[in-house]
């Protein structure tokens, strides 16, 4: 399985942008890049996903490097509620176990008021 | 309305007991999952069900048995509970098991403590 590498932790100030990096140098051409986050004492929640082009939604933006070996999740204005563990996951376009979400350690984001 | 719900939220029990955790989704999804998050916070998939059929069994001990009475429910039954079963169990659902763009929706979790 293609693996992802994320920093263990990051800190941000409230109302400032946050850039969460993810390296995935062994990504294959058909792997999608998914981001989920897990707020304290809650289940994971979907944030965003992309394949090649940058993506924007109401929660965040996803910037994907041209060679697709890395990506960055961008929170445009961090709030205290954004404090969570952020998971970068590669997902294969196949069914069965190869289509699983494989969660790594993620990045624990702390937001300071 | 809660999209994916689980009961109970907390479960404390003795070793050797049998217990069940219930999960319901009201999203009309075809696929449901069970995940286990251990004390080190690693989240691992245990099972998935697609249209009431087991699709994946990720080398989970056969003491764990998922049961799906219908498409909206996937319950987890655990026999002969062991200390190592203590963890937070999350249920999730998604529209389609196959599509790589599919989004999973997670429940709030059930914290199981085995004494």
pLDDT-derived band at B40, boundaries 50, 70, 90? confident
Q: Do A101 and B45 touch (CB under 8 A)?
A: yes
Mean pLDDT of B16-42: 93
Min Cα separation A34/chain B (Å): 8
Min Cα separation A2/chain B (Å): 14
**Helical H runs in A6-102?**
none
Write down the pLDDT at residue A74. Answer: 98
Write down the pLDDT at residue A98. Answer: 57
Is it the case that residue B14 has pLDDT exceeding 90? yes
Q: Is it true that the peptide bond before A92 is cis, omega within 30 degrees of 0?
A: no
Write down the pLDDT at residue A99. Answer: 62
Closest CA to B51 of B69, B35, B65, B34: B69
pLDDT (tens digit, 0 to 9) for every residue of chain A, 113 residues total?
568 999 999 999 999 999 999 999 999 888 899 999 999 999 999 999 999 999 999 999 999 999 999 999 999 999 999 999 999 999 877 655 556 788 889 999 999 99
Chain centroid, CA A94 distance in Å: 21
Q: CB of B78 within 8 Å of any CB in chain A?
A: no
Closest CA to B64 of B85, B44, B42, B86: B85
Write down the pLDDT at residue B95. Answer: 87
Picking from B97, B108, B109, the nearest residue to A99 by CB comes out as B97
Per-residue pLDDT tens over the stretch B81-99: 999 999 999 999 998 766 6
Write down the pLDDT at residue B98. Answer: 61
Q: Which of residues 43-62 of B touch A (CB under 8 A)?
A: 43-45, 48, 55-56, 58
Picking from B56, B99, B103, the nearest residue to A97 by CB comes out as B56
Largest interatomic CA distance in chain B: 41
B chain contacts of residue A30, beta-carbon cutoff 8 Å: 100
Q: CB of B39 within 8 Å of any CB in chain A?
A: no
Q: Do A93 and B99 touch (CB under 8 A)?
A: yes
Write down the pLDDT at residue B72. Answer: 93
Q: Do A45 and B106 touch (CB under 8 A)?
A: yes
Q: Do B97 and A95 touch (CB under 8 A)?
A: yes
* Distance separating alpha carbons of residues B92 and B69, to the nearest angstrom: 16
Q: Do A103 and B101 touch (CB under 8 A)?
A: no
* Distance separating alpha carbons of residues A19 and A16, to the nearest angstrom: 10
Is it the case that residue B1 has pLDDT exceeding 70? no
Shortest CA distance from A40: residue in chain B = B108
Closest CA to A96 of B103, B105, B4, B100: B100
Closest CA to B21 of B78, B84, B70, B71: B78
- Cα end-to-end distance, chain B, whole Å: 34
The backbone torsions φ and ψ at residue B83, rounded to the nearest 5 degrees and listed phi first, read: -55, -40
Strand order through the sheet with A18-23: A18-23, A70-75, A61-64, A55-56
* Distance separating alpha carbons of residues A47 and B62, to the nearest angstrom: 33
């Amino acid at each position: 399985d293609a693996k992802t590498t994320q920093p263990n932790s990051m800190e941000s100030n409230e109302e400032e942008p946050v850039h969460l990096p993810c390296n995935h140098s062994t990504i294959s051409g058909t792997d999608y890049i998914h981001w989920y986050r897990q707020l304290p004492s809650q289940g994971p929640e979907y944030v965003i996903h992309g394949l090649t082009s940058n993506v924007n939604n109401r929660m965040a933006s996803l910037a994907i490097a041209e060679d697709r070996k890395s990506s960055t999740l961008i929170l445009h204005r961090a709030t205290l509620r954004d404090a969570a563990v952020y998971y970068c996951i590669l997902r294969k376009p196949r069914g069965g176990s190869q289509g699983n979400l494989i969660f790594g350690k993620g990045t624990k984001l702390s937001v300071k008021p | 309305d809660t999209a994916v719900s689980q009961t109970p939220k907390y479960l404390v029990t003795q070793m050797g007991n049998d217990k069940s955790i219930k999960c319901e989704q009201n999203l009309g999804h075809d696929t449901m999952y069970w995940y286990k998050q251990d004390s080190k916070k690693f989240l691992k998939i245990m099972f998935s069900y697609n249209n009431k059929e087991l699709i994946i069994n990720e080398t989970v001990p056969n003491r764990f048995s998922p049961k799906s009475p219908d498409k909206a429910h996937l319950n987890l039954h655990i026999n002969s509970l062991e200390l190592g079963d203590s963890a937070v169990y999350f249920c999730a659902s998604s529209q389609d098991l196959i599509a790589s763009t599919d989004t999973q929706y997670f429940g709030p979790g059930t914290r199981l403590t085995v004494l």
